[in-house]
């Protein structure tokens, strides 16, 4: 009833199925490796393109920061020079016009005192 070579036939089918599965696995691995290689090359290409852009952006940011530092330094220097000239001018005026300088100082002091008293309001007399 049963053919006698059935176990041999089953063995051949199992071998063929195993071979097919093995070939499918190898093919899948090969395709996955190829895709990974392609992806790695793409990433490297992007990295190669981005590196000069990042370098340029870094250089521009550094130059901008340096210009800011220079501008602050120049502004500070100019302010110092103006203050020094004003101080020299004031001293020269005091030397040339000592009486007028004293009168201006006294008037400024009196004005300041009047403003402060007005701001603080009248003091109660006791």
Helix, strand, coil percentages for the chain (3-state, nearest 5):
90, 0, 10
Find which of 8-12, 14-18, 20-24 is predicted with most confidence, using mean pLDDT. Answer: 20-24
Q: What is the pLDDT of residue 17?
A: 86
pLDDT single digits (tens) 21-67 = 899 999 999 999 999 989 998 888 888 888 888 899 999 999 999 99
Domain segments of the chain: what residues? 6-120
Average pLDDT, the chain: 87
- Can you count the helices (H) and strands (E) in the chain? 2, 0
Per-residue CA distances from 20 to 14, 35, 93 (Å) = 10, 22, 107
Mean pLDDT along residues 100-120:
92
For residues 94 and 101, the answer to whether their CB atoms sit within 8 Å is yes
pLDDT band, residue 13 (cuts 50/70/90): confident
């Amino acid at each position: 009833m049963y053919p006698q070579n059935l176990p041999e036939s089953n063995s051949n089918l199992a071998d063929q199925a195993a071979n097919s599965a093995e070939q499918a696995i190898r093919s899948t691995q090969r395709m996955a490796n190829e895709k990974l290689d392609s992806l790695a090359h793409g990433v490297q290409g992007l990295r190669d393109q981005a590196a000069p852009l990042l370098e340029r952006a870094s250089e521009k940011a550094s130059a901008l920061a340096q210009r800011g530092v220079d501008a602050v330094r120049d502004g500070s220097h100019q302010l110092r020079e103006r203050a020094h000239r004003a101080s020299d001018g004031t001293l020269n005026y005091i030397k040339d016009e000592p009486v007028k300088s004293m009168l201006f100082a006294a008037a400024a002091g009196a004005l300041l005192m009047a403003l402060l008293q007005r701001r603080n309001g009248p003091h109660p007399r006791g």
